[in-house]
Structure 1
Amino acid sequence: MGLMIIFSLIVILAAFGIIRSLREKNLLAILFSTGIFLVLGWFTIMTIWKHGFPTAH
């Protein structure tokens, strides 16, 4: 479950990257940030849905 937490942090950073690249009008950065956001975001959502949110032991 630690991998899911890391992926969710990357998704949050990708969201900030999308906003920043839209402001700078950087098309390649928009493409990569959106791809990372969609792929890892979908993986994170499906992992939480199937296995639940990780709890502290």
Structure 2
Amino acid sequence: MGLVIITGLTAILAIFGLISALRNKNLLGIVFAFGTAAVFGWFAVMTLIHSGFPAVH
């Protein structure tokens, strides 16, 4: 569960970075922030789906 939290927080911070890069019209920042948000967000969601929920007995 800790991995989901860390990757989720990284994705959220990347979204804030993306917003900041969009405001400053920084093209390279937009590309890297979008890529980071996409990769870490996808990894957090898929980790949560695959092994994040406790097993039901």
Identical-pair percentage: 56
Instruction: Return 5+ residue gaps in structure 2 as ranges.
Output: none
* Per-residue Cα deviation, 1:2-43 (whole angstroms, up to 9, x for no partner): 222111111000001111100000001001000000111110
Normalised by the length of structure 2, the TM-score is 0.84
Unpaired segments ≥5 residues, structure 1:
none
1:20 aligns with: 20
**CA–CA distance in 2 between the matches of 1:5 and 1:53?**
13
The list of structure 1 runs, each at least 4 consecutive aligned residues, that deviate by more than 2 angstroms after superposition, is: none
- Higher Cα Rg, which structure: 2
How many residues matched?
A: 54
> Quick one: which amino acid aligns to residue 50 of structure 1?
H
- CA RMSD, Structure 1 to Structure 2 (Å): 1.4
